[in-house]
Amino acid sequence: MTAAYVALEGGHVIEGRGRAPGTARGELVFTTAYTGYEESLTDPSYEEQVLTFSYPLIGNYGVREERFEDDRVHPRAVLSRELTEDVADWLESEGVPAMDHLDTREVVTDIRDEGAMKCGIAVGEDVSEEDALAELEACKEMSEHTEIGAQVSVDEPEVHGAGNDGATVTLIDCGAKGSIVSSLVERDAEVHVLPYDAGVEDVAAVDPDVLFISNGPGDPVNFEPTIELVEEYVGEAPIAGICLGQQIVAEALGGSTEKMAFGHRGVNQPVLDLDSGRVVMTTQNHGYAVAEPGEHLEVTQINVNDDTPEGLDGIEHDILTRQYHPEANPGPEDTLDFFDDVLAMAGDRSQRAVPADD
């Protein structure tokens, strides 16, 4: 049996069975999702993290590329009670270390008790506990990954749904899931995907009906160019955001964000709409949340479990954000109408000016 070790912050080392060789380090997190492992593993929001699946068997229905959210696996390593050969082979082909035959209930309990933590992993024929501990020693806090946006964003602009007759959307790619783009294109939008550090002049060249800030990994305060872009466009065009996008919008409008103990990751997070009283089930993947929305944003939805903000609306301007993933993939489709609401904000463009480039 191939050796495998994961060293947790504090020095505790867990042994398991190696399924894909290599060494890695990252923030140890867990997801409670029992389906959608292909989408989870290709979600850019897991960049610089080590993903633990709480569901005991991962790989029940194989690996299908059409379900991928990006063109590569993003977690630095993967832990599971049991991985099928299909998933193990896929991870090995991606160069992502993986191990199973460990008590993931214990790992999840540790994370819930101690919070998301740094870890190191070593998998291979000749690895030892010391190799995993060395990876742990070199691991950085998530907030220290100041260039994480560059790791997950497009390098050059892309256009999806070219020639569509609906709204023109500029999507700022902070680590966007592919299904966000497809959800907009399916609604006849022309989507211009720009890098996370795009400037006012880049957005002005598109002249969008809606500025959309995507999901992504890490600490929102490390996305300074995106925060500055939102600051410039407030009141000039409708603004929407998902997950990290909500946090970035809050930071730009005078609010604040905070790191959560272990975050929300799964497909069964209940969200309450404060106006209608309706509760919907949502897909989520985030370790940061809005602490204070500021005076320009109103909290319209909250998480039933911990009251964290799940939806923000602009008080003075057309702004609509959600902390969860309305596009699902994986997860329930209770909130797909968010995209209809965003595109409805496009309105009459003739009354809007484009901010000048300072």
At 33-78, the pLDDT tens digits run: 999 999 999 999 999 999 999 999 999 999 999 999 999 999 999 9
Share of the chain above pLDDT 70, in %: 97
| 59 marked among binding-site residues | no
Residue type, 150: A
Q: How many helices (H) and strands (E) does the chain have?
A: 10, 19
| 351 marked among binding-site residues | no
Interatomic CA distance for residues 294 and 95, integer angstroms: 43
* SS3 call for 204: helix
Share of the chain above pLDDT 90, in %: 95
| 22 marked among binding-site residues | no
Indicate the pLDDT class of residue 347, thresholds 50, 70 and 90.
confident
Does residue 350 have a pLDDT over 70? no
Length of the chain: 358
Residue 237 has what pLDDT? 96
| 263 marked among binding-site residues | no
Indicate the pLDDT class of residue 1, thresholds 50, 70 and 90.
confident
Angle at 80 between CA 79 and CA 86, to 5 degrees: 100
Please answer whether residues 215 and 194 qualify as being in contact, where contact means their C-beta atoms are separated by less than 8 angstroms.
no
| 287 marked among binding-site residues | yes
Q: Please give the mean pLDDT across all residues of the chain.
A: 96
316-346 CB burial, b ≥16 within 10 A, e <16: ebbbbbbbbbbbbbbbeebbeebbeebbebb
CA distances from 298 to 56, 197, 205, 247 (A): 40, 27, 31, 13
Mean pLDDT over residues 149-174, rounded? Answer: 98
Residue 299 has what pLDDT? 98
| 49 marked among binding-site residues | no
At 246-267, the pLDDT tens digits run: 999 999 999 999 999 999 999 9
Q: What's phi and psi for 236, nearest 5 deg?
A: -100, -25
Interatomic CA distance for residues 320 and 318, integer angstroms: 7
Residue 331 has what pLDDT? 86
Using alpha carbons, select from 30, 55, 49 the residue that is nearest to residue 108: 30
Q: What's phi and psi for 291, nearest 5 deg?
A: -90, -50
Does residue 351 have a pLDDT over 80? no
Residue 285 has what pLDDT? 97
| CB-count burial class (<10 Å; 0-12, 13-18, 19+) for 137 | exposed
Q: Please identify which of the residues 74, 145, 286, 325 carries the catalytic annotation.
A: 325
Neighbours of 201 (CB within 10 A): 11
| Per-position DSSP letters for 126-184, written without gaps between them | T--HHHHHHHHHHPPPGGG-TTHHHHHS-SS-EEESTT-SS-EEEEEESS--HHHHHHH
Q: Which residue has the higher pLDDT, 4 or 331?
A: 4
Residue 353 has what pLDDT? 45
325 is an active site residue: yes
Q: Please identify which of the residues 119, 232, 243, 264 carries the catalytic annotation.
A: 243
Does residue 163 have a pLDDT over 80? yes
Would you give the DSSP letter of residue 325?
B
Interatomic CA distance for residues 75 and 69, integer angstroms: 13
Indicate the pLDDT class of residue 107, thresholds 50, 70 and 90.
very high
pTM value is 0.96
- Look up residue 279 and give its two tokens: 């509760």
- Bridge partners (DSSP) of residue 28 are 50, 117
* SS3 call for 45: helix
Please answer whether residues 68 and 94 qualify as being in contact, where contact means their C-beta atoms are separated by less than 8 angstroms.
no
Q: Which residue has the tokens 């106006």?
A: 275
243 is an active site residue: yes
| 182 marked among binding-site residues | no
Q: Please identify which of the residues 47, 82, 232, 327 carries the catalytic annotation.
A: 327
| Structural domains in the chain, sorted by start | 3-140 (3.50.30.20), 148-351 (3.40.50.880)
Please answer whether residues 346 and 210 qualify as being in contact, where contact means their C-beta atoms are separated by less than 8 angstroms.
yes
